[in-house]
Amino acid sequence: LDSSACDCCQTSITYTDKGPLVVYRDRSEKEVRDIYITRNINDVWETPIPVYNDGWVIYGCPVNGPKVVSNSNNLAVSWFTVSNEKPTVNLSFSEFYGSSFGNPIKINDHDAIGRVDVAFLNDQEVLVSYMEGDDVGTYLRMKKVSISGKLSEPITISKIDGGRNTGVPQLEILNNEIFIVWTVFENEKNQLKIVKLSSKDI
């Protein structure tokens, strides 16, 4: 699909009625590491295109991949970048099966750490989970975002270790219940923590 991609960033895949598509962090010869998408249309993989040109140059893998989710013709991609030296979590929607995307919506309010996930709450709204830090600590948070661009206030899921041992928190919505799972290191071993919320309360 691509001969040069960011080595350690997670890739993400989803499926629409036009076929599968993959979102990942690209790596150019000049070490620009922006988020790209490639689609399989009529059993042919298209040439990858950027979701957005952040222009983030980094000489090493940030280990901070994107996530993509689909609902009919609508797609949402969330990702971490450092654009203009500002750590940012972005979200962008496509209403055309990923053939083009709208301008990014900034999700974080403080210094973004990223490690994002995203899920459709209904056909017009998604939930985005992400990590950010301030002068007090680091937090796992979530926001509701509509295709029209409206953002909810942040929902703090938990205070969280900002290091690598927390992994990449996972977000899923099943039967109107929201689950967020992440790794903690307690009692000398890695363990999982989970929070369950009702979508009716969001």
Residue 98 is classified by DSSP as: T
| pLDDT given for residue 201 in this prediction | 86
Beta strand ranges found along the chain (DSSP E): 12-16, 19-25, 35-41, 44-45, 49-50, 67-71, 74-83, 86-94, 105-106, 111-120, 125-133, 138-146, 155-159, 170-174, 177-186, 189-198
| pLDDT given for residue 202 in this prediction | 87
CA dist., res. 82 & res. 111, Å (int) = 10
Q: Which residues of the chain have pLDDT under 70?
A: none
Kindly give, in sequence order, each residue whose CB lies less than 8 Å from that of residue 138, ignoring residues fewer than 6 positions away: 113, 131, 132, 159, 160, 161, 162
Residue 10 CB: number of other CB atoms within 10 A?
16
| pLDDT given for residue 92 in this prediction | 98
CA dist., res. 124 & res. 121, Å (int) = 8
pTM: 0.95
CA dist., res. 124 & res. 77, Å (int) = 14
Pick from 109, 82, 185, 115: which is nearest to 193 by CA?
Answer: 185
**pLDDT tens for each residue of 51-95:** 999 999 999 999 999 999 999 999 999 999 998 889 999 999 999
